[in-house]
Chain A
């Protein structure tokens, strides 16, 4: 009986914490309770890895306290810091949905407390057609498509910048637009880069650079 009271109290506390998440702001109390019942609280000491890039495991993390670094680990060593996130953030959404390995590493920058939602639990809620699962899925969907747009935007900026560096403006103007839409459609960028750089245009570009260098040298 006593444990039940403690569980009840803990869940009420979790509901209060979940309510503070911007993504969950519009969820009714009842649905937050269903979500909270399916979650588990975990703690990570500063410096500990919460998820490792490339590893299996499809739990989604709701950060309650502490900051977390999101890192891209590069082959042959070295990390790139993609983001530092804090309370109110949700991590690991894509693996929750598709069950595929993690695309980045998450490391606790400070002592961190999270609420974890496992894929099994989530699928179960979804199969039962819990309202909260439908609502959350819609949010995840919006977030996934937003991330696609953002990632495309970064690649696009890069290409624009490369274009400036190249000083072959018109060629890259045409590439830029093409690549942007190609990415949005999920076609392999490398194929397209090659197609565009293949043949006449590439020769044109080479000739232009050759000419530029000759002018500089003379």
Chain B
């Protein structure tokens, strides 16, 4: 268990946690070993847990409408997956497939909510750091949207290079811009 303690202490998610608080959350994590090729979560299914990767590599994959699986990212030791599932009841946005064997530490929403219901100091801190991670991501998405708002024509770069008609571009841009207004 000592290794889990130092592992958690080293993660940004638990940056401001006291030793005692780390011990509290430690007890809630389930250690799960996985083999190469094993699926840890399915896209579109409701998520009910957050994973911390302890060892190994996990591929984040998404199936396109044509049925082709695309690898979006490879995540390794110390990375956090699916923290949204602790907060909302939403669907998984990607499928997680083990690229190597390894292990994850799993925290279920049920246990997280239990911690909150007890008003444990660790619950306050964990809720805070998860929300902050969300804020960071929201600002990032916001910057992407802003980029499109400022330079909507960048959406059409390949076409412009290929000689797409200017008026066709501005017409298309106009149509796209309407989507950014609520």
Contacts and interface: CB of A to CB of B under 8 A. Distances in A.
Contacts of A140: 131
Interface stretch (A44-52, A112-120, A144-152): A144-152
Interface in A125-167: 126, 129, 131, 133-134, 137-138, 140-142, 144-149, 151-152, 154-155, 157-159, 161-162, 165-166
Interface residues on B, range: 35 or more
B71 to A, nearest CB: 9
B166 interface: no
A53 to B, nearest CB: 10
A202 B179 CA distance: 26
Interface stretch (B5-13, B26-34, B50-58, B116-124): B116-124
B162 A206 contact: yes
Contact of A155 (B84, B124, B148): B148
B144 A189 contact: yes
Given A129-B119, A162-B172, A142 B179 contact: no
A129 B180 contact: no
Nearest to A173: B65
A80 B180 contact: yes
A23 interface: no
Given A161-B179, A202-B158, A137 B149 contact: no
A174 B64 contact: yes
B155 A162 contact: yes
A50 to B, nearest CB: 18
Interface residues of A, number: 64
Contact of A158 (B134, B139, B148): B148
Contacts of A186: 136-137, 140-141
Contact of B116 (A103, A138, A159): A138
Contacts of B64: 173-174, 176-178
29 contacts: A74-B149, A80-B177, A82-B181, A100-B139, A103-B139, A126-B124, A126-B128, A134-B119, A137-B124, A138-B87, A138-B116, A140-B131, A141-B131, A141-B134, A142-B87, A144-B131, A144-B134, A145-B84, A147-B138, A152-B141, A154-B145, A161-B175, A166-B158, A170-B66, A177-B64, A178-B72, A183-B141, A185-B73, A209-B162
Interface of B: 43, 60, 62-66, 68, 70, 72-73, 84, 87-88, 90, 93-94, 116, 119, 121, 123-124, 127-128, 130-132, 134-142, 144-150, 155-156, 158-159, 161-164, 172, 175-177, 179-182
Interface of A: 72, 74-75, 80-83, 94, 97-98, 100, 103, 126, 129, 131, 133-134, 137-138, 140-142, 144-149, 151-152, 154-155, 157-159, 161-162, 165-166, 170, 173-174, 176-178, 180-190, 192, 197, 202, 205-206, 209-210, 213
